[in-house]
A and B are shown apart, each in its own frame.
Chain A
């Protein structure tokens, strides 16, 4: 059938592999999953239409790319099955090859020398881990079949089987996998979309490398429930996921937020305290005692001015600062950055500001990014990985070698060694083996005429 022939054909498989490799490489050059406007602005209208029309805006999920992978899967399956039959057939024992070119002619003497040579050759080959079968060659001399590494012939078959299993696992992941990222603030619970799970973040902690502001590890202490039933609880950290009810939870990232700050006011005129006020970031608050509207619009844990803009040098609270906007009635708001150790005066003219403000407290709260995954394809893919690795080592390191050696005595009474050598793909090491065998046989002393062997 045409389809079966095409699936088995190397002339089809090799171009498919080449196209897959090329498309995969080209796909890395085009950002994936962006909007039409992005492609138009970046590449121009013509290229944008081409990229989106051809599916290169998400090439690895484009129908034709998936179809190529599917073809590869089918092709490897069909090839492997037909090749398995051939390999099993070829593995059956075969009689020694009677041909072969004469490699050596040894000394003088009668046929017992041939026996000595055959014995020594067999012994040497067995030491080199060849499996040796010796027989009388139709009563005329000796025949040896020396073979090793036969399993190497199955290497490519095992690799293909592994690749098929990996692709099948990938298909299971694509079709049935569930993956969601939820952001949970400390003390709160988040429901995981498309599942019955809810995750509560009890606490979050960050460790730093000693003497630095560099994060060493961060972890979330969570409990996972399904409906009213508690499934499990524990810590999630990077490289240390938590398993719960067929799902796995991964620590992806985190954000530190300050929701509430405390601001202390002091009268500019006499320095008398004017009160302490708790403000929620982003929410304006009317303070009747001050007759002012106060709003904290931003918070930086490690404040720095960078290129004229406020930013944070790190996420550690080394230099906390809050941006306070102050307005009175309908007049425009004025802002200033407040620090723990330095007051600010939000006013058009600072010296006329009736109040001075100091940041006196803040409540940091971590928001943890947790990925929740259920992947039925994972165990299949992992099994495929094992088979793939095994196949690659067997196929690349175990080379099938076979020597059919015939040792007999010619009409002139000299011992002849004939050899038919077969190797799978590694001539360089096999020829060295052959050469060493011949050196070894060369070292056997020839029996002179009239002397005992």
Chain B
């Protein structure tokens, strides 16, 4: 990694961290100046992040999707995009208080990994790589935002029950957060389905079996089942509010285990991921 790229990466991380602090202060004090300032910082950070990705694409002569270093950068980039779009579409301005720390941590984790561009292994030289990885991470980013809105639902709901938040329209805000959680899960679930399906087809083309209960495959199925349960609870049992928020957080824990835990705790054919 060249010094300028390393500097860019550090500045991006610091800007995300600054944006996180700004959003957290906004979530606590609801001053519009904090919101606007955090947005400006996030835009700068995101612009630098795009430059980092573009540089990686230029260096590697391919999309940055083939190892943990690259997918961390890509995942954090997607988390920011989905957060910004969700904030704008649903007029909820506190998501950054969780999502930006996630983006910061993902980028910070890249400093523990080898940044060198490695030539592709034979198994990764496939057109399925793009479809499989992009759809999976798009789903993960949506679930991260669902986790964010769930956390705020629980925090605001708890403060309200304790009598610490008595503002007018607070119930409306809680309803909005609850609906946003649901909407993010429904946005991400089909992409996770496509991600698992494309992964299975690729495994079949590469290894001759579409499902081998590999830890990565199994945990992605567990994640899919957890979110399927979330949707079942909502549609069939009408479960909303606190328990729906808890279920969404459990789902994101499953995502974290699928993405990180499997690579470091188990022996898996996905070792390069």
Q: Is the CB of B122 within 8 A of A216?
A: yes
Q: Is the CB of B186 within 8 A of A239?
A: no
Stretch among A121-129, A197-205, A308-316, A423-431 lining the B interface? A423-431
What chain A residues lie within 8 Å of B265 (beta carbons)?
29
The residue on B at minimum CB distance from A424 is B235
The residue on B at minimum CB distance from A61 is B213
Q: Is the CB of A239 within 8 A of B232?
A: no
Q: Is the CB of A239 within 8 A of B222?
A: no
The residue on B at minimum CB distance from A384 is B197
Q: Does A252 contact B (CB under 8 A)?
A: yes
Q: Is the CB of B229 within 8 A of A428?
A: no
What chain B residues lie within 8 Å of A388 (beta carbons)?
193, 197
Q: Is the CB of A10 within 8 A of B237?
A: yes
Contact with B along A69-83 (1 / 0, CB 8 A): 000000000000000
Q: Does A170 contact B (CB under 8 A)?
A: yes
Stretch among A96-104, A134-142, A392-400, A410-418 lining the B interface? A392-400
Stretch among A19-27, A45-53, A262-270 lining the B interface? A19-27
Which of A10, A25, A428 lies in contact with B218, CB distance below 8 A?
A: A25
Q: Does A14 contact B (CB under 8 A)?
A: yes
A287 and B257 CA atoms in complex are apart in Å by 62
What chain B residues lie within 8 Å of A248 (beta carbons)?
208
Q: Is the CB of B119 within 8 A of A21?
A: no
Q: Is the CB of A14 within 8 A of B183?
A: no
Q: Does A63 contact B (CB under 8 A)?
A: no
A18 and B189 CA atoms in complex are apart in Å by 17
Stretch among A207-215, A273-281, A343-351 lining the B interface? A207-215
Q: Is the CB of B201 within 8 A of A389?
A: no
Contact with A along B71-94 (1 / 0, CB 8 A): 000000000000000000010000
The range of chain A's interface size is 35 or more
Stretch among B37-45, B95-103, B174-182 lining the A interface? B174-182
Q: Is the CB of B119 within 8 A of A214?
A: yes
Q: Does B54 contact A (CB under 8 A)?
A: no
What chain A residues lie within 8 Å of B228 (beta carbons)?
17
Q: Does B26 contact A (CB under 8 A)?
A: no
What chain A residues lie within 8 Å of B118 (beta carbons)?
214
Output the least CB separation between A449 and chain B (Å).
Answer: 38
Q: Is the CB of A28 within 8 A of B125?
A: no
Contacts A10-B237, A238-B122 given; does A396 touch B189 at CB 8 Å = yes
The residue on B at minimum CB distance from A425 is B235
Contacts A18-B229, A396-B186, A396-B187 given; does A10 touch B236 at CB 8 Å = yes
Q: Does B60 contact A (CB under 8 A)?
A: no
17 pairs of residues in contact across A and B, judged by CB atoms under 8 Å: A24-B221, A28-B219, A28-B262, A60-B213, A214-B119, A215-B122, A217-B122, A217-B125, A239-B125, A248-B208, A250-B208, A378-B204, A396-B187, A425-B186, A425-B234, A427-B179, A428-B176
- List the interface of chain B (C-beta within 8 A of A): 90, 118-123, 125-126, 175-176, 179-180, 182-183, 186-187, 189-190, 193-194, 197, 200-202, 204-211, 213, 215, 218-219, 221-222, 225-226, 228-229, 232-237, 257, 262, 265-267
Given contacts A14-B233, A209-B119, A373-B208, 19 further A-B contacts (CB under 8 A): A21-B225, A21-B229, A24-B221, A25-B257, A27-B213, A28-B218, A29-B266, A214-B119, A216-B120, A216-B122, A216-B125, A238-B123, A239-B205, A250-B206, A385-B200, A392-B190, A392-B193, A425-B186, A428-B180
